[in-house]
Amino acid sequence: MPEESGKYSNAHHPLTVAAVVGSFAMAVGLVVRVSGISLVLERKILEGYLELGFPVSGSGQPWWAVLVLLALTYGIALMLLGVPGFLKRLLLFLSCLVLIASASPVVALWGLFWSPVVAILCFSWSAACAVLWARYYPMSSEIEGS
């Protein structure tokens, strides 16, 4: 390999990294959900919504919760890996985290209960791993001239 190819010639592809990071985050989140660790906090959130007068039904998570979880987990990893710079990634991660936490009361206004506990866990795990990965390994978004 010629030396002119640059110091970042072996940059990792964002799709590969997002698949690895997102899959691991989904596994962690689903283990927490299936094992019942998150149920105590989810019940407290539901009771809080009912006490505040939200018209939610306690029939469990909606069917689309898994689709939202998949989109959030893989989407944030891919999005953060495409943004150059540690501080930009951190700001984007924290901004999206606030939006996810705020989405649960909005969905409760529609009469559906969506607990953000597992979504926040998967999202945060995926984002933190993507930020750390991009900090220590070269990404194609940070290569000059790409």
Q: What is the spatial distance between Cα 83 and Cα 76, in angstroms, rounded to a whole number?
A: 11
Q: Which amino acid is at 17?
A: V
Q: Are the C-beta atoms of residues 27 and 126 closer than 8 Å to each other?
A: no
Chain-centre distance for alpha carbon 40? 21
pLDDT of res. 141:
67
pLDDT digits (tens, 9 = 90+) for 12-65: 678 888 999 999 999 999 899 899 999 999 999 999 999 999 888 767 777 888
pLDDT of res. 139:
73
Q: Model-level pTM?
A: 0.82
Q: What is the spatial distance between Cα 22 and Cα 37, in angstroms, rounded to a whole number?
A: 21
Query: By C-alpha distance, which of 31, 92, 100 is closest to 71?
Result: 100
Domain positions in the chain: 13-138
pLDDT of res. 24:
95
pLDDT digits (tens, 9 = 90+) for 78-128: 999 888 888 999 999 999 999 999 999 998 898 888 889 999 999 999 999
pLDDT of res. 6:
47
